[in-house]
């Protein structure tokens, strides 16, 4: 851990000066209390640094969660072994294709009508919206059809195996288009509110809402609804993937262990004796004993972890490897052949669209995990057998 300023502490050994400067700006906001914790996977984001943990009192900055509200991971350990999976008599390509047919990978408006697990999740979200005065249809008319869809970028579905050879279902997704539109609306609302105040912001994207403003409470209500949408979105897809794995194996899947964890969200927590609004942007909850998930990049290791409750780190931990190259730079630097070499032995769709997800475009996950040694303990190390990505 390194103290950067009196209000900024960093656990990142792999970090550039631009990222540090962005984090300094966030930490300097007057309502940040006590300090910002910069995670090992930190890199530049929009407004606030991805991989930062920001406690605030009496105010909230919507950009410190970002536009993929509630994004996170879910993982399930099954009773199957890698040996049994590979010896099933069928190719892993068949399982990948089954998953790709079962889980909508395209934008939400093109998804099938909701049914089964998705219908139950929609009913729960409708009730939550009514109870909390949330208006999701004002942001995305067809938000129900987005539930149970993966999305592109670094979102994924994986079948992996741990150090004991146990097979896991592992996936990463968020609140889809409805969460994105909610976030953008309140980021713009905060900018309008802040522009009317006689305070110069260090960056326009650090615009904020204060707790004496109705928009502050409206944002938090919509934020928490979108976080629940994201959690249920993962739960629905998890059920569909588990169903396909069971069909592939010819046996019902037993859920030996399960973890579902957000990494873009705000929660009310107590730190250093104060009640704060804690925004984790690209960071997971790492209170003592809390299970978490830290994925690497496409083709590299992922980790099932338990929090150590490090108070200086605001009881948080990294959410992944963190980008080292922008998507544009990655596409200019690496080729589809480079990705093929990095994905050797892993079943995946061989498309040029995924070149910007090559492991070389991310930080070394082993270095990130070494930096996180004071934040979490590692319970399982997963290696990928099969990878599904959206477009």
Which own/partner pairs from 253-258 qualify as long-range (CB within 8 Å, at least 24 positions apart)? 253/76, 253/78, 253/79, 253/80, 254/78, 254/79, 255/76, 255/77, 255/78, 256/76, 256/77, 256/78, 256/79, 256/166, 257/76, 257/77, 257/304, 258/74, 258/75, 258/76, 258/77
Bridge partners for 267 per DSSP:
278
Give the CA distances from residue 33 to residues 27, 271, 275, 306, 312, in Å, rounded to whole numbers and listed in that order: 9, 9, 10, 26, 12
- Distance, CA of 236 to CA of 18 (rounded, Å): 38
319 tagged catalytic: yes
* Alpha-carbon distances of 144 from 115, 148, 232, 239, rounded to whole Å: 10, 9, 12, 17
Q: Which residues are catalytic?
A: 319
């Amino acid at each position: 851990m390194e103290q950067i300023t009196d209000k900024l502490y960093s656990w990142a050994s792999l970090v550039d000066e631009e990222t540090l400067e962005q984090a300094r700006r966030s930490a300097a906001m007057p309502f940040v209390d006590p300090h910002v914790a910069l995670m090992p996977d930190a890199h530049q984001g929009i407004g606030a640094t991805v991989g930062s943990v920001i406690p605030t009192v009496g105010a909230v900055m919507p950009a410190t969660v970002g536009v993929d509200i509630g994004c996170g991971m879910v993982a399930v350990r099954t009773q199957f072994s890698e040996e049994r999976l590979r010896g099933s008599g069928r190719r892993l390509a068949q399982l990948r294709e089954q998953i790709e047919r079962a889980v909508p990978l395209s934008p939400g408006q093109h998804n099938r009508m909701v049914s089964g697990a998705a219908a139950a999740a929609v009913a729960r979200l409708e009730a939550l919206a009514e109870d909390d005065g949330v208006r999701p249809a004002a942001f995305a008319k067809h938000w129900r059809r987005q539930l149970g869809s993966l999305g592109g970028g670094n979102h994924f579905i994986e079948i992996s195996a741990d150090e004991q050879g146990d097979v896991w279902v592992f996936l990463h997704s968020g609140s889809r288009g409805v969460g994105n539109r909610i976030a953008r609306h309140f980021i713009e609302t905060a900018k309008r509110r802040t522009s009317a105040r006689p305070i110069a912001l260090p960056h326009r994207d650090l615009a904020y809402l204060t707790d004496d403003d109705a928009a502050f409470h409206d944002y938090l209500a919509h934020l928490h609804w979108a976080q629940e949408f994201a959690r249920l979105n993962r739960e629905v897809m998890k059920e569909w993937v588990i169903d396909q794995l069971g069909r592939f194996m010819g046996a019902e899947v037993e859920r030996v262990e399960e973890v579902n964890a957000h990494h873009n969200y705000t929660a009310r927590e107590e730190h250093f004796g104060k009640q704060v609004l804690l925004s984790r942007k690209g960071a997971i909850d790492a209170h003592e004993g809390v299970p978490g998930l830290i994925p690497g990049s496409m083709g590299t290791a992922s980790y099932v972890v338990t929090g150590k409750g490090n108070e200086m780190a605001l009881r948080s931990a990294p959410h992944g490897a963190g980008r080292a190259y922008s998507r544009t730079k990655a596409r200019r630097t690496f080729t589809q052949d480079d990705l093929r070499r990095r994905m050797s032995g892993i079943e995946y769709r061989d498309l040029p669209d995924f070149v910007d997800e090559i492991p070389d475009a991310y930080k070394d996950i082993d270095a990130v995990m070494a930096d996180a040694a004071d934040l979490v303990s590692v319970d399982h190390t997963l290696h990928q057998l099969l990878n599904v990505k959206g477009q």
